[in-house]
Amino acid sequence: MQTVINLFRNNIREYGMIIALVFITGLFWVLTDGITFNPLNLTNLILQNGFILVLAVGMVLVIITGNIDLSVGSVVAFVGAIAGVLMINNNVPVWLAIILALLVGALIGVWQGFWIAYVGLPSFIVTLAGMLIFRGLTLYLLDGKSLAPFPESFGKLSSGFLPNIGSGDFHILSIILSVGLSLVLIYLEISKRKTQLQNNFEVFPLWIMVTKLALLIFVINWFTYQLALNKGIPIVLVIVFVLILIYTFIMNNTVMGRHIYATGGNKKAADLSGIKTKRVVFWVFVNNGVIAALAGLMFAARLNSATPAAGNMLELDAIAAVFIGGASMAGGVGTVIGAIVGGLVMGVMNNGMSLIGVGIDWQQAIKGLVLLLAVGFDVYNKNKAGK
């Protein structure tokens, strides 16, 4: 029993937010008489929050290095404006416009990463300047007006669904993919446990692993079943899932991931150990520029227009998702999964409060309180560990 308690304490960030997410979803399920778990509402929840989850994936790497990026909301608007000018005004093919927009995001990351990594300016100042610069450029490109509509094929980026097998209303392909994912998760969990035991690591008792895996598989298949009752798996969810796989692998299994954690954990020690921390920070910002550009394309596709007000305050939602998901303000701590869980907490709260009629004023206040409690929880754990 003591082993279980110690393992839970060592993973309090991860399990604490998952428990909070379960509690919040259960609370709104009761308060909305089950509407929260309605197939249509679940689909809308994904479509409305997909770009925030994408931004959170890029933002968590920035925060792990001990930096912050306040410009992503303006980059979302700027990239959407560029996409609108290319596709709507100049009839550039959709695929080419997407590539060019992502390149613009990379160049923005190069610009900001240079000032932060090699000139040594604080990321807060550089990205605050970027927030103003790219919002101003958006207004210039659009001349203060909205551009619409985008080509129909571009709209599928944010509102499309995977094709179905057969002609029925029930989305069979979603169920097949869900079962396949469940089998992969079982294999990975068994392999991970076997490796940990071979290396004499402390592991949870077998019954806890089986229970956790059974609950996870149940949630995945139930969730996918609800989506299959509507239109199936949205393209947005596929994009988020692919990003989770890629960036979780990078952070957990590659040299680059270890260098990112080391840079945020103790920059001087990382420098002394031979890690090129300036290069690490530079490429993290380049990556975040591309991720913000992808979110900008998704946002524009959802609105079906490029508008000067696009992305307003999205940077705060992304940052809040990362901190709620267990990242530390001091750097060196955080996970991609945690950022996604934090983003889901924010999304479920927004959706649930809207369904029960809570005004936007109180929604903002409650989200601010949740963020404060999450960071306070982080500080409390640090102080407790230091004693």
What domains does the chain contain, in order, with CATH numbers? 2-160+234-386 (1.10.3470), 168-232 (no CATH)
Provide the β-strand partners of residue 306: 147
Q: How far apart are CA 43 and CA 197, in angstroms?
A: 40
Q: Tens of pLDDT along 299-350?
A: 999 999 999 988 888 898 899 899 888 888 888 888 999 899 989 988 888 8
Q: Tens of pLDDT along 54-102?
A: 999 999 999 999 999 999 999 999 999 999 999 999 999 999 999 999 9
Per-residue confidence band for 189, with pLDDT thresholds at 50, 70 and 90 = confident
Query: Do the Cβ atoms of 60 and 327 come closer than 8 Å?
Result: yes
Query: Do the Cβ atoms of 112 and 285 come closer than 8 Å?
Result: yes
Q: Residue 378: helix, strand or coil by DSSP?
A: helix
User: Which stretches within the chain are classed as H helix?
Assistant: 2-10, 12-31, 39-64, 72-84, 94-113, 123-142, 152-159, 172-198, 206-229, 235-253, 255-265, 267-272, 277-303, 314-324, 336-355, 360-386
Mean pLDDT across 239-264: 93
Per-residue confidence band for 11, with pLDDT thresholds at 50, 70 and 90 = low
- Identify the pLDDT of residue 330: 81
- Identify the pLDDT of residue 381: 66
Among residues 83, 56, 63, 51, which one has the least CA distance to residue 127? 63
- Identify the pLDDT of residue 77: 95
Cα torsion at 168, 173, 174, 177 (round to 10°)?
160
Does the structure show a pLDDT above 80 at 177?
yes
Q: Tens of pLDDT along 205-244?
A: 788 888 888 988 998 999 899 999 888 899 999 999 999 9
Bond prior to 234 in cis (omega within 30° of 0)? no
Per-residue confidence band for 202, with pLDDT thresholds at 50, 70 and 90 = confident
Q: Residue 253: helix, strand or coil by DSSP?
A: helix
Q: Tens of pLDDT along 104-142?
A: 999 999 999 999 999 999 999 999 999 999 999 999 999
Does the structure show a pLDDT above 80 at 188?
yes
Q: How far apart are CA 302 and CA 323, in angstroms?
A: 26
Does the structure show a pLDDT above 80 at 384?
no
Residue of 375 and 35 predicted with greater confidence: 35
DSSP 163: P
- Identify the pLDDT of residue 32: 86
Query: Do the Cβ atoms of 20 and 343 come closer than 8 Å?
Result: no
- Two structure tokens written together for 220: 């995945």
The helix (run of H) or strand (run of E) holding residue 358 is none
- Identify the pLDDT of residue 148: 85
Q: Residues near 371 by Cβ (< 8 Å), separated by ≥ 6? A: 320, 323, 324
- Identify the pLDDT of residue 117: 95
Mean pLDDT across 240-253: 93
